Amino acid sequence: MVIIEDDEADVFLIQEAIEITRLSVTLHVVKDGKQAVQFFDRIERDPALPCPALVILDINLPKVQGGDVLRHMRHGAKCAQAAVIVVSTSDSRHDRDQMASLGAHAYFRKPSDYDDFMKLGEMIKSVLAP
């Protein structure tokens, strides 16, 4: 699983939500869009590297926006069908529609309340469920 998020507090909360699910996952954290593009390029080039089972992607990233990262990921052979949950402070219909059109499986608006943020764990479980 990979978290692509530049805000350290949000990374912490996402990790907490994952921990609550009790899923056994290897977790990678990528801090900006450029690093995310490089991360997926490395996966594409190296036959030994698998695509993550789930990508948790922020929209508003430095250097390369989340939508562009998702578009880049979808053009690769290995990660074209990977599960993606978009996380964002935005609740705009435009953002939701754009991310869905790029192949996001789910959209989670980051709430300010801790307990509401932990609901991301259930979304993660449902997206990963076979």
> What CATH number has the domain bearing residue 73?
3.40.50.2300
Mean pLDDT by 10 residues, the chain (130 residues): 97 96 91 98 96 96 97 94 96 95 96 96 90
Give the domain extent around 70. Answer: 2-128
- CA end-to-end span of the chain: 16
Distance CA 36, CA 51 (A): 12
Number of domains in the chain: 1
Q: How many angstroms separate the Cα of 66 from the Cα of each of 25, 38, 61, 99, 122? A: 23, 13, 6, 9, 22
pLDDT at 109: 97
- Predicted TM-score (pTM) of the model is 0.94
pLDDT at 68: 97
61 φ, ψ (degrees, to nearest 5): -110, 150
pLDDT at 24: 86
pLDDT at 54: 96
pLDDT at 130: 66
